Amino acid sequence: MPSIRLAIVGLGKIARDQHLGAIEATQGIDLVAVASRNAALDGIACFPDIHTLLASGVEVDAVSLCTPPQGRFEQARAALLAGKHVMLEKPPGATIAEVFALEALAQKQGVSLFATWHSRESAAVEPARKLLSERKVRSVEVEWKEDVRHWHPGQAWIWEPGGLGVFDPGINALSIVTRIMPESFHLVSSELSFPANRAAPIAADLTFESAGGIKVSAAFDWRQTGPQTWDIRVETDEGPVVLTHGGSRLIVDGKAQIVEEDREYRNLYGRFVELVGSGRSDTDFSPLVHVADAFMLGRRNVVESFED
């Protein structure tokens, strides 16, 4: 099969930190174009936006959307209507209805849509999933606490409606938990802390329950300075299973089992090549559904204003 000719849309932090290197390292896909209002790459065809790119005559087979979630729907829709395969950064969109509309459109157009969850590609996730399928899970506790000033300097969109606030990282934890849990679960309570001057929460405390009565609690907070915490602790009938460092380390019954280098984005592009090659899509929107529920059932608490 010839290599997929790919365009990146939105050449910002994650595109530069992860996508460019991962594309370079993946067989079967080549970067041929960029669409970004304020950024360009030497030696690559560059356009200010996806519409100009699609009208340019430059041949692309697929686009990878690395823009913020607000506005992503229009870009994805334009690409799908032009017959391009589409890879979506997380979260896949700003609303639930729009992502299901994209899924239906991709199917109608006969192209692949890949809603990516990079945290699911962390080294400990699949081993944890396998282990938990063989044990009885008693409870799950998620702690996802980081310093927003360090990780999102100057990013105004994350504080706007649709930017998700602390759920921008929190949805990564939910993408892991929805993958490793042996049964599905639903939200039962949500406390959201909104800075007085912002439209998105800076912290969230959630409780979920599975049909079988497993309690899942999650504490997300963007105000943590010093050491950062991205941990998921699962209590089982045979002892604790703990994922730390965002899912890249696994500790089983107190013993470290997996400590691996990050291959998340290389795995994602490898999977995208496979999906396009086999004419399939991968669209699990369950983490976004849980986040939407957190807003729907959320009690709004107003906290101290946040300044960058």
For the annotated catalytic residues, the residue numbers are 90
Stretch that binds ligand NAP, among 5-13, 52-60, 126-134, 294-302 (CB under 6 A): 5-13
Q: By CB under 6 A, is residue 247 in contact with ligand NAP?
A: no
Instruction: Please state, in angstroms and rounded to a whole number, the distance separating the CA atoms of residues 88 and 155.
Output: 19
How far apart, in Å, are the Cα atoms of 52 and each of 4, 37, 57, 111? 20, 11, 9, 21
Q: What is the contact mask toward ligand NAP in residues 135 to 164, using x (rule: CB under 6 A)?
A: --------------------x-x-------
Q: What tokens were used for 227?
A: 């050491």
Question: Among residues 239, 251, 190, 192, which one has the least CA distance to residue 216?
Answer: 190
Kindly state whether residue 37 participates in binding ligand NAP, applying the rule CB under 6 A: yes
CA nearest to 280, candidates 90, 85, 96, 93: 85
Describe the strand order of the beta sheet including 29-35 as a list of residue ranges: 45-47, 29-35, 4-9, 62-65, 85-88, 113-115
Residue 168 interacting with ligand NAP (CB under 6 A)? yes
Rounded CA-CA distance 231/248 in Å is 10
For residue 16, count CB atoms less than 10 angstroms from its CB and return exposed for 0-12, middle for 13-18, buried for 19 or more. Answer: middle
Q: Which is nearer to ligand NAP, 92 or 195 (CB)?
A: 92
Which window, 37-45, 182-190, 253-261, 286-294, contacts ligand NAP (CB under 6 A)? 37-45
Q: Does 291 bind ligand NAP (CB under 6 A)?
A: no
Quick one: which of 6, 11, 94, 180 contacts ligand NAP (CB under 6 A)? 11
Of the candidates 8, 23, 63, 68, which one interacts with ligand NAP according to CB under 6 A? 68
Question: Residue 71, interface with ligand NAP (CB under 6 A)?
Answer: yes
Contacts with ligand NAP, residue ranges (CB under 6 A): 10-15, 36-39, 66-69, 71, 89-90, 118, 155, 157, 168
